A and B are shown apart, each in its own frame.
Chain A
């Protein structure tokens, strides 16, 4: 069955450093992958989308990579700030079915 793994342990980093979050998947060939941010008690907020034929995508301080051979996506936040503290979710999708399959998320804590 399809499986998506995100580091269940919280990631604690110092302000100004680069945070790197990992999303691994098995038994799946997604056409695209999305990253969302979720704050406590709120709905997920879309951040970035990367297609299977794209290696890397950037948006301001965010960078996503997508390696379909390793079946892995890395999500980077450069120059991290305490306001970046949240849970980050990866979600996989394919063009044949619109439902997204989500990982359980990684909680990021940026210390001032």
Chain B
């Protein structure tokens, strides 16, 4: 059973470009979460999605950031017009649909560097 997959593992963008980060959840998982980790800091929640629905985007910056989890295919975190402050590790996690308590399983992360 493959774990959570993220690609690319490393992404370099120049200021003003767009970054697209992909996440495929574990098989059988229908909940996806995105977290951001700045150097020497803990993970900060960004957004929680189920198939075709954004459930909680309270941690997402209001501008330039968007996320989707289509019926088919991976979840996408999109950052438009990237700035240097967007440089961070972005982690995706997934969990099964059942239960009210969530054990979240994390992917290896995408390390975004903005030049």
Flag B86-112 by CB within 8 Å of A: 1 or 0 each. Answer: 000001010100001111111111010
State in angstroms the CA–CA spacing of A42 and B109 once bound together: 7
State in angstroms the CA–CA spacing of A103 and B44 once bound together: 9
Given known A46-B105, A49-B103, contact A98–B42 (CB-CB < 8 A): no
Q: In this assembly, does A25 line the interface, its C-beta being within 8 Å of a C-beta of chain B?
A: no
Minimum CB–CB distance for B63 against chain A, Å:
20
Flag A24-50 by CB within 8 Å of B: 1 or 0 each. Answer: 000000011010100001111110010
Contact between B91 and A100, CB atoms less than 8 A apart: no
Contact between B56 and A99, CB atoms less than 8 A apart: yes
- How many chain A residues sit at the interface, stated as a range, is 20 to 34
Across-interface contacts of B101 in A (CB, < 8 A): 31-32, 49, 51, 93, 95
Flag A44-67 by CB within 8 Å of B: 1 or 0 each. Answer: 111001010000000000000000
Across-interface contacts of A100 in B (CB, < 8 A): 33, 43, 45, 102, 104
State in angstroms the CA–CA spacing of A3 and B91 once bound together: 21
State in angstroms the CA–CA spacing of A27 and B35 once bound together: 22
Contact between B42 and A43, CB atoms less than 8 A apart: no
Contact between B44 and A102, CB atoms less than 8 A apart: yes
* Interface hits, A76-101 → B, CB 8 Å: 89, 91, 93, 95, 97-101
Chain A residues with a Cβ under 8 A of chain B: 4, 31-32, 34, 36, 41-46, 49, 51, 89, 91, 93, 95, 97-105
